[in-house]
Amino acid sequence: MKRSIVETKKAPPPVGPYSQAIQAGNMVFVSGQIALHPETNEIPEDFTAQCHQVLKNLQAILEASGSSLEHTVKVMIYMTDIDRFNELNEIYAGYLGSAKPARACVEVSRLPKGVLVEMDAVALIGE
């Protein structure tokens, strides 16, 4: 099976020894994305802005792989305050509502760089 690294300047570079995503066959596995802006390396303080930036980063990586949010089959969400679940869902639905991928959402004690939310995804390519 063919395996290749996916890279794009439209999303932030990895903050460790991993790839933005790996394409394997007709699937792409996107690493966890935080709200790091790809051009400024800044992280918004606001939860809503962080959610939007995370989803934009996921979208950019998926598009660089030849996929899209609409072809997403699984999303994992990590958040530091599960009480913001409804707020997250409203934002998330604006990006992935029609795709309705399988999903899990968990509360964690801390995330890299002190962010409030992180997401990773698995999607199909060429559908």
Q: What is the pLDDT along the chain (127 residues), one digit of tens a residue?
A: 789 999 999 999 998 899 999 999 999 999 999 999 999 999 999 999 999 999 999 999 999 999 999 999 999 999 999 999 999 999 999 999 899 999 999 999 999 999 999 999 999 998 6
Instruction: Let me know: does 12 contact 41? Beta carbons within 8 Å.
Output: yes
The total of structural domains in the chain comes to 1
Residue 11 sits in which domain range? 3-124
Under 8 Å CB-to-CB from 114, ≥6 apart: which residues? Answer: 43
The pLDDT of residue 11 is 97
Residues 6+ apart with CB under 8 A from 93: none
pTM of the model: 0.95
Residue 52: its H or E element? helix 47-65
CATH number assigned to the domain comprising residue 24 = 3.30.1330.40
Task: Tell me what pLDDT residue 127 has.
Answer: 60
